[in-house]
Structure 1
Amino acid sequence: MLAPYASHADQSRGRFFPQEESTFRSCYQRDRDRIIHASAFRRLKHKTQVFIEHEGDYFRTRLTHSIEVAQVARTIAGALGLNPELTEAVALAHDLGHPPFGHTGEDALSELMAPYGGFDHNAQAIRIVTKLERHYAEWDGLNLTWDTLEGIAKHNGPVTGDVPYALAEYNALHDLELHTHASAEAQAAALSDDIAYNNHDLHDGLRAELFSTDELAELPILDRCFGEVDARYPDLNYYRRRHEALRRFFGVLVEDVIDVSRANIAELGPQSVTDIRLAGRMLVQFSPEVWKDLKQIREFLFHRMYRAPEVVEMRAKVTMIVRELFPLFMQQPDLMPKQWRKDVEDVEGDDTALARIVSDYISGMTDRFAIVEHARLTGQDPEPGLRASGPGHIRYKDRIGEG
């Protein structure tokens, strides 16, 4: 049973290209399934969160992160009476636009694309699902519902002011009402992203030995979680102790979002998804107390993990790869595969359009492919720590979407 303020499939705003809907699946289920089967989604398994993809088999990738976000989002959606299929679709698609090497790769690509309209991973996700996935006979992209596209574009809130180029380009064709908030389903996906990465970055930082369990046990929220574990299991071994504490931390965040969001919704009394969009604020939120504690935890992660000397050293190496690949393809676009060269021919003489194609190509690369392709095209041996190995990373199909 869905709440009146949920996104009901029979009230969806439909698709840009009209098509007959499925007999057995709702429109949002169909969106979710198309995202799961997209080439860009599969490539997330070889794109990083913080560590380079081949640095360790146990570190999170964009794919495992997206699956974890979807799991949390479905839990929150169920508790709030929201549409679980739409919530899951937005959660699974939220990182499709990330380039190789995590936020490091995005920073480098944003700098390179600054003269050509910039680069933003949320806007790139819209570009992927509306243009770059080219499988269907009648349209480019996945032809997702307006509701799912809206959620991908503005799950973090309204997009106003300097709208990213790729998002503005699509919005001119298909108005996503960027000035309003998104549905509660999209808001649930956004908070689930925060919950998932705060939790798993603590896991990954411990595995990388960038900080100790004892240090975590001194942080807010986590101190209580470790205290509960120690009181209940006084002789628990090291690995089980930290797992039990971190899963309690995970639970605290989820329960806080559910409790606060229920209260926010009860206060507003929305009777439709339109009421959610026009509320003027995010209704799916953390409490001020938990948000304050999370900021302290994030500050800890920033200094001890994201800016750890080993991570900073790797950031410099992968930044160099992106910075050298971009001008190389701009100057010699014939180095790109055949299907990409066809697009280049259509924009001959337009540097901005060419830069967008080059950006599409690089941002679609996996970590391993970017490392190998850079070495092949420049004749340079990969730096120590960047030597990808194993079969399957050499071949890369002609186009994002034909992997």
Structure 2
Amino acid sequence: MPPSAGLAQIAPWAVRSDQSRGRLHPEAADLSRSPYARDRDRIIHSTAFRRLQYKTQVFIYHEGDAFRTRLTHSLEVAQIARAIARRLRLDEDLAEGLALAHDLGHPPFGHAGEEALNGAMKPFGGFDHNAQSLKAVTHLESRYGAFQGLNLTWETLEGLAKHNGPLRRPSPYIAAYDARHPLDLSSHASAEAQVAAIADDIAYNNHDLDDGLRAGLFSLDEAEQLPLFGEALADARRGQPDMAADRLAPEAIRRVINRMVGDVVDEATRRIAALAPKSVDEIRAAARPVVAFSPAMLALNAPLREFLWNRMYRHWRVNRTSQKSKRVVQILFSLLHGGPQMLPPEWQVRAGEAGSAQCAHAVCDWIAGMTDRFALEENRRLTDPDVPG
């Protein structure tokens, strides 16, 4: 089926692949794939995407094989995004590609690693994983002879830059990139990008709850007190009263995800009907996002987020791991910023003079690209005299 075959089926306000604003470096069209399918495929084949397999969601890789990683999380976000995009008659390839790429800039050790890098980079503009995701696909990936980065379409880059909405005060890298390839940072992103962003929220809330139960950070009885999860759990029990205990949580979480997806579709349908947009540009110019939870769902979701914050992300076991992880990142940055001669040769060239801003950004990029496993090994190589360098 040619790439244009599905255009008649998408909504007028969806992004149209035949009207893409193109790529920074022009390329011949691929007659077998739409531009956004091509973007998605480039993301999947990137080095940064493969590394997500050993990057933490909440638990470090060696704490168990059953917990989510950034890779499995991204795949789950992509599934949810594609399902929502299909029901809203949006471009599924664009929504899926953005979902797969949204965490490419995450450093090792999840939010603990990000906090540590942001602290180390404070004198040099700070660190933000969304900006790092854009940097990964526009600069750090080195796979093509004709250009640096993946040379993704404008629409994919817009969605990555505005993953959290319009940017009034963009980070230094996004601002610098926007200066040479404007991404209309002050407007909303496309509906497809908004779908990828809310699919991220749906996935991490539900799957972190699943991982927290699996890790024993809290009990099923405690989670049952949450309105949204408790209702889903009761529904699962009504449907099959003799269900095995270990299947109750997955059944409940599946119901919560379905309910959230249905709520987003219904609320987006209401907002789009009220706006009556005739093009994606009217979606971008709207006063508020068109893809969102309803007020009722936001109220139900708030206790879940608070519960996860207090009982999981700030659990004493997670706190211990977070502090150790931050320390690893801090040590790596300090040693390499002060001694870039310890970097691989090609990174020494990027770093330049020890202690400089150029060196800080190179070291930051080097660390941000590490997996949990590589960061731990690198820390041992640099600090343990008995470990070969």
What TM-score do the two structures reach when normalised by structure 1? 0.92
> Match of 2:150?
142
1:349 is displaced (CA, Å) by 7.4
Rounded to whole Å, the distance in 1 between the matches of 2:181 and 2:357 is: 22
Asked if residue 227 in structure 1 is aligned to residue 223 in structure 2, the reply is no
1:342 is displaced (CA, Å) by 2.2
Asked if residue 330 in structure 1 is aligned to residue 334 in structure 2, the reply is no
Which amino acid is 1:355 matched to?
A
> Match of 2:51?
43
Asked if residue 236 in structure 1 is aligned to residue 229 in structure 2, the reply is no
Summarize the Cα distance change of 1:221–1:359 in structure 2 as closer, same or farther, 3 Å threshold: same
Asked if residue 246 in structure 1 is aligned to residue 260 in structure 2, the reply is no
> Match of 1:307?
314
Aligned residue among 168, 187, 191 for 2:175 = 168
> Match of 1:355?
360
1:180–1:280 contact (8 Å) kept in structure 2: no
| Identity score, percent | 52
1:119–1:165 contact (8 Å) kept in structure 2: no
Partner SS for 1:221: helix
> Match of 1:157?
165
Rounded to whole Å, the distance in 2 between the matches of 1:149 and 1:352 is: 26
1:344 is displaced (CA, Å) by 2.5
5+ residue gaps, structure 2, are 1-8
Summarize the Cα distance change of 1:309–1:327 in structure 2 as closer, same or farther, 3 Å threshold: same
> Match of 2:290?
283
Rounded to whole Å, the distance in 2 between the matches of 1:268 and 1:84 is: 22
The farther-off stretch of 236-245 and 349-358 is 349-358
Summarize the Cα distance change of 1:350–1:303 in structure 2 as closer, same or farther, 3 Å threshold: closer
Aligned residue among 80, 87, 95 for 1:79 = 87
Which amino acid is 1:361 matched to?
W
Summarize the Cα distance change of 1:33–1:328 in structure 2 as closer, same or farther, 3 Å threshold: same
2:55–2:69 contact (8 Å) kept in structure 1: yes
2:351–2:360 contact (8 Å) kept in structure 1: no
Residue deviations 1:325-359 (CA, integer Å, cap 9, x gap)? 101111110111122122224xx478112111110
Rounded to whole Å, the distance in 1 between the matches of 2:322 and 2:78 is: 28
The farther-off stretch of 2-11 and 215-224 is 215-224
Residue deviations 1:73-111 (CA, integer Å, cap 9, x gap)? 000000001000010111100000000000000001001
Residue deviations 1:253-295 (CA, integer Å, cap 9, x gap)? 1110011001100110011000000002111000111111111
Moved runs in structure 1, 4+ residues, more than 2 A?
A: none
RMSD: 1.5
2:338–2:355 contact (8 Å) kept in structure 1: no
Residue deviations 1:157-195 (CA, integer Å, cap 9, x gap)? 10113x211111211111111000000000000000000
> Match of 1:120?
128
5+ residue gaps, structure 1, are 383-393, 396-403
Asked if residue 364 in structure 1 is aligned to residue 372 in structure 2, the reply is no
Residue deviations 1:353-392 (CA, integer Å, cap 9, x gap)? 211111000000000000010011011799xxxxxxxxxx
Rounded to whole Å, the distance in 1 between the matches of 2:238 and 2:385 is: 55
> Match of 1:265?
272
What TM-score do the two structures reach when normalised by structure 2? 0.96
> Match of 1:387?
none
Rounded to whole Å, the distance in 2 between the matches of 1:155 and 1:113 is: 22
> Match of 2:6?
none
> Match of 1:386?
none
The farther-off stretch of 213-222 and 336-345 is 336-345
Partner SS for 2:320: helix
The 5 Å alignment of 1:16-55 reads 16-55=24-63
Rounded to whole Å, the distance in 2 between the matches of 1:157 and 1:60 is: 26
Aligned residue among 197, 209, 214 for 1:207 = 214
Rounded to whole Å, the distance in 2 between the matches of 1:23 and 1:243 is: 42
Partner SS for 2:311: helix
1:29–1:85 contact (8 Å) kept in structure 2: yes
> Match of 1:401?
none
